Structure 1
């Protein structure tokens, strides 16, 4: 839905160059509220340095839509200013025809950049090559500190924190930081200052491998080598952090049936289209849980206190399952665990559920006894809580791992599947144990 002309004029007045320069984050939030074509028209009025400053605060989904709506002069200028990996993600989001037209226009003005981006687009989406930045500084080992600093001063591009040192055959032999360089004597050669490389990545390494290596090495940046073992780029810790943060954020949405494409300021109709199918599925699973309760209708009619305590069992089961699911999802996303760890994760969550169940059962049993003066009712709720928390914990661990094992997105509506399991487990445990111990329960 397009904003009215009055809204657009008001936005222009509010989003003056001075305002955008001083408050780029706030400006980006306001721009994200406009339709992409109107936001692009607004940015067209701004100096390029303002657009670049705003861009890092615009969410990825909104940024893709806004980039698609931009006129070529601005989009080309923006591609030249952004990091290569950011520019690459914007190009990858375009359809084939639009991407081809834009690259042809870019090639006419900046052939080197166009060639670099075209080469990177050849690689599969989730590889190190698609994540790397080609803006690196590498020097031969026999170069002096004075000569290196002189060359760096002549560069127009941003200087990286990590510099790489090459041997005579251009093989990568080490690295040093910019701080080390500045603190060294001018006549020293880089070969004397270099430190060993903590780890190396191949252009075809999967994104999971990249994250695992950064997790293990705690490196500031890692070099990326091609098939001939030549240095072609680097991946910074910040890039991996951003990628993982976005993945975790999208996983949080898909776990509960919301689309990865939906933003906080998306239209209500877009939200309905993405959420309604999963809500309908959740409704069907809710009937399954209701059927369990219906099977014990006679018992509930006889012991009405069960109806009062039923939400307690289901609620605790749901919370315990959600905790296990969140921890397991984090482990899968950060590559702390894989599908082969399912048994260890399940045992850990079952034990945690059992111990939590004991503590919660004791507290709840005391409260129920003081309320009902019934030992039988207190015993039923205590045993039910222990059983349901063990089941919920193991389900919270197994559901995302099972989805990943079968080649599905482990975040895809895991919460909806888990809710069904925990509800049924909570109801079945509570009412099943109540039926077994019905002679101990107060009638009425």
Structure 2
């Protein structure tokens, strides 16, 4: 290493932030940094603008590249790799040891449904020390469209806040970005789940979410379009799985694929239907004596089924958006108990009056009124309790809640109606 390289190495190691600003204004091919040790280069690359990472990295010898990759933080390594072309990445992977290669490939291949999967790569850093003129020039160069705000970092690349483009347009060219800074409301980690992203979007009503590493360094941004897709994915997956359809099935999926995914759940539903039918069989004598009961039985079962589905949908949404947890089951059940009692009483009066007009039987009207209150309360409690129990036992509540709930509401409706009719058979 000659004197020039030694001075560069010392300067990069001692004053990486200042060196990064100088490097950003220079041509990487003319810097001659190929002989600077990786440990001195790493602090510089951690702070340099992401748009120049690729050029600076590619001028290094292969051996130095491998050392630099080992010295960089996870966030900067990810940012660098996302700027390389496919051929450049494969060339780097070929030179890496097997263990490092597999680790970096895993770093790039984020699981579907995580912030790392949805985020855009950084096209450049906007720093607190920049002027509005410099930041606007970088925005134009990035060719980003429909962005309403940009995220600002400090000299170490850590997230400092957010600046609205409208504020920049109305400010003087020489104003510092730090003077326009707003708090960055809500952020995500690379492995933040889709549900967390949807919740953050819903809470802050923002057009994007910054993705940071464990040191709060900005890695990428999840844009509104990706957030909308995440929300749509979450909704459609829950809709399908709640009725026993696979999350992988699409409207144009092959018929055999759909049959393979649906049939097991249909068999489970068939077994639960026989369970409900066996309950009706217990009251066969009562139904044979009072045939009107058979006519009114679907009314009670249908109402309890709808009430249970309403409670299930609200509870599932609360669990998905982390509005409630399994620890709050008592609060949720108390609320559904009140709703069930009030709805049951109102429907009991309406349904009882209708049955009395139809049958001219006060006893039959009383039976269906009592059954309506009991079944509505049971359905509401079941709709709230079933998904929470599934979560406590480590199961996905979206997968089996609907089938379990249907069984519970049917059985509750049949027992409350037919059981009440049996007890009050003397007035029918």
TM-score norm. by structure 1 comes to 0.70
Partners of 1:205 and 1:274 in 2: CA distance: 28
Partners of 2:91 and 2:129 in 1: CA distance: 28
- For residue 354 of structure 2, give the secondary structure of its aligned residue in structure 1: helix
Deviation at 1:125, TM superposition (A): 5.4
Deviation at 1:110, TM superposition (A): 6.9
Deviation at 1:203, TM superposition (A): 3.3
Counterpart in the other structure of 2:219: 232
Deviation at 1:207, TM superposition (A): 4.4
Partners of 2:139 and 2:205 in 1: CA distance: 26
Q: Is the Cα contact below 8 Å between 1:388 and 1:425 reproduced in 2?
A: yes
Counterpart in the other structure of 1:393: 380
Counterpart in the other structure of 2:348: 361
Is 2:249 the partner of 1:262? yes
Partners of 1:155 and 1:366 in 2: CA distance: 69
Deviation at 1:252, TM superposition (A): 0.9
Counterpart in the other structure of 1:242: 229
- For residue 201 of structure 1, give the secondary structure of its aligned residue in structure 2: coil
Counterpart in the other structure of 2:332: 345
Partners of 2:391 and 2:380 in 1: CA distance: 18
Partners of 1:250 and 1:209 in 2: CA distance: 15
Aligned pairs for 1:159-308 (under 5 A) are 160-308=147-295
CA separation of 1:275 and 1:423: change in aligned 2, threshold 3 A: same
CA separation of 1:106 and 1:237: change in aligned 2, threshold 3 A: closer
Partners of 2:376 and 2:115 in 1: CA distance: 41
CA separation of 1:380 and 1:255: change in aligned 2, threshold 3 A: same
Rg bigger for which structure? 2
Counterpart in the other structure of 1:108: 87
> Structure 1 residue aligned with 2:318, among 324, 327, 331?
331
- For residue 175 of structure 1, give the secondary structure of its aligned residue in structure 2: strand
> Structure 2 residue aligned with 1:135, among 122, 128, 134?
122
- Per-residue displacement from partner, 1:51-83 (whole Å, max 9, x unpaired)? xxxxxxxxxxxxxxxxxxxxxxxxxxxxxxxxx
Counterpart in the other structure of 1:75: none
Partners of 1:311 and 1:428 in 2: CA distance: 13
Counterpart in the other structure of 2:65: none
CA separation of 1:323 and 1:170: change in aligned 2, threshold 3 A: closer
CA separation of 1:268 and 1:210: change in aligned 2, threshold 3 A: closer
State the superposition RMSD in angstroms.
Answer: 2.8
Partners of 1:347 and 1:194 in 2: CA distance: 45
Deviation at 1:124, TM superposition (A): 5.8
> Structure 1 residue aligned with 2:364, among 369, 372, 377?
377
- For residue 202 of structure 1, give the secondary structure of its aligned residue in structure 2: coil
Q: Is the Cα contact below 8 Å between 2:312 and 2:384 reproduced in 1?
A: yes
Deviation at 1:312, TM superposition (A): 1.1
- In the alignment, structure 1 segments of 5+ residues that lack a partner are 1-102
Partners of 1:159 and 1:430 in 2: CA distance: 59
Counterpart in the other structure of 1:420: 407
TM-score norm. by structure 2 comes to 0.72
Partners of 2:146 and 2:344 in 1: CA distance: 55
Counterpart in the other structure of 1:86: none
CA separation of 1:259 and 1:125: change in aligned 2, threshold 3 A: closer
CA separation of 1:111 and 1:147: change in aligned 2, threshold 3 A: farther
Deviation at 1:418, TM superposition (A): 0.8
- For residue 393 of structure 1, give the secondary structure of its aligned residue in structure 2: helix
Partners of 2:323 and 2:197 in 1: CA distance: 13
Q: Is the Cα contact below 8 Å between 1:137 and 1:159 reproduced in 2?
A: no
Deviation at 1:151, TM superposition (A): 2.8
Deviation at 1:206, TM superposition (A): 4.5
Deviation at 1:341, TM superposition (A): 2.1
Q: Is the Cα contact below 8 Å between 1:136 and 1:160 reproduced in 2?
A: no
Q: Is the Cα contact below 8 Å between 2:147 and 2:207 reproduced in 1?
A: no
Partners of 1:106 and 1:136 in 2: CA distance: 15
Counterpart in the other structure of 2:397: 410
- Per-residue displacement from partner, 1:297-350 (whole Å, max 9, x unpaired)? 111111111111111111111111111111112222222222222222222122
Partners of 1:111 and 1:152 in 2: CA distance: 30
Partners of 1:193 and 1:155 in 2: CA distance: 20
